Structure 1
């Protein structure tokens, strides 16, 4: 799948993996924030505050144990990465060089594991995978998530062609909104209940 033809120039806004999480939750978040400049004021939301505080607990992880379990040879922490090819920028919690010569991103989430990985997280991690392959000129086969609220459960995600294509589609759709497209709202009406844009959003 090719990227949207009006790819970002160096002067335009890059897509952050965290923006994709907002986009997948409801595409209109991006329209209101980026196109109209209306902030969410998410810093005042209790769950977000708690999430940010607990995200710092990743430092309590048993680093040696995690590295051993995933076959890590070395790692980089809090790595800032940028891709002009995909128009992505962001900070990865950790990037591991594995013993098979491939690379893998690892991210810590203040969340419980619910028998399957959240699609938003999978897409976010896939974006990291795309950029790492480009920058390191190496293969990424695995993506790792640590669920802090499930006793630091470590989960592995396969970085296959299906996930790559899905992630690139999300990037394309995001860029169309930035270019002025007004998207449909989420189909999940439960998400609209405490949405900060509910008074201006046409359902």
Structure 2
């Protein structure tokens, strides 16, 4: 059984052809050359190290696990922090090398939905919300609700990705053509 990282599911949801190019044709993206990706990784590692013993009591954290690699049949990934809250539920917390601009990107939410599934399966618990920390806005914390249908959307995406891979099927491109402008596969994709 194939398992996916949250970033791969997010790419699929952006355009299903990412899955085809990455898994069927095995064409690498070479995204590591982008400065923000590299700088984000550095800040991420710094935050994990500096916040080892910090409990976020303001949001009701009673216990936490940092830098947790979690895996299930369809998903795998490294969660910055798994939080146990005072109501008995758990929540993912993810650091973003970004400024808070009064809106949360869908990709950030989708990543939290993936982490919610992993936490529920690993810790046999309920996840109703997650948290984002915007490191370039004085570590502003934003709470994100996580509904059951959001987790269902992730699970159906993993099934669709498996079908593309197993059936060697070239999927339809995204209907949002502006997405093609910055796509790492734009030079090989038939529109």
Settle same-fold status: TM greater than 0.5. Answer: yes
Deviation at 1:82, TM superposition (A): 1.1
Are 1:192 and 2:189 an aligned pair? no
Q: What runs of 5+ residues in structure 1 fail to find an aligned partner?
A: 1-7
Q: CA RMSD in A?
A: 2.1
Residues 166-190 of structure 1, C-alpha deviation per residue, up to 9 Å, x if partnerless?
2222222222222222222233333
Are 1:56 and 2:45 an aligned pair? yes
Evaluate the alpha carbon distance shift between residue 61 and residue 190 of structure 1 in structure 2; reply closer, same or farther with a 3 A threshold: farther
Are 1:97 and 2:84 an aligned pair? yes
Correspondent of 2:154 among 163, 167, 184: 167
Secondary structure of residue in 2 paired with 1:113:
coil
- Whole-angstrom CA distance in 2 between matches of 1:133 and 1:143: 12
Correspondent of 1:152 among 139, 146, 167: 139
Paired position in structure 1 for 2:4:
15
Secondary structure of residue in 2 paired with 1:107:
strand
Evaluate the alpha carbon distance shift between residue 54 and residue 81 of structure 1 in structure 2; reply closer, same or farther with a 3 A threshold: same
Paired position in structure 1 for 2:29:
40
Deviation at 1:72, TM superposition (A): 0.6
Contact conserved, 1:102 with 1:141, CA < 8 A, in 2?
Answer: yes
Are 1:130 and 2:117 an aligned pair? yes
Residues 98-148 of structure 1, C-alpha deviation per residue, up to 9 Å, x if partnerless?
111111111111223343322122122111111211221211121111122
Contact conserved, 1:17 with 1:90, CA < 8 A, in 2?
Answer: yes
- Whole-angstrom CA distance in 2 between matches of 1:44 and 1:140: 35
Contact conserved, 2:69 with 2:78, CA < 8 A, in 1?
Answer: yes
- Whole-angstrom CA distance in 1 between matches of 2:177 and 2:35: 21
Secondary structure of residue in 1 paired with 2:9:
helix
- TM-score, scaled to structure 1: 0.83
- TM-score, scaled to structure 2: 0.87
Q: What runs of 5+ residues in structure 2 fail to find an aligned partner?
A: none
- Bigger shift: residues 137-146 or 162-171: 162-171
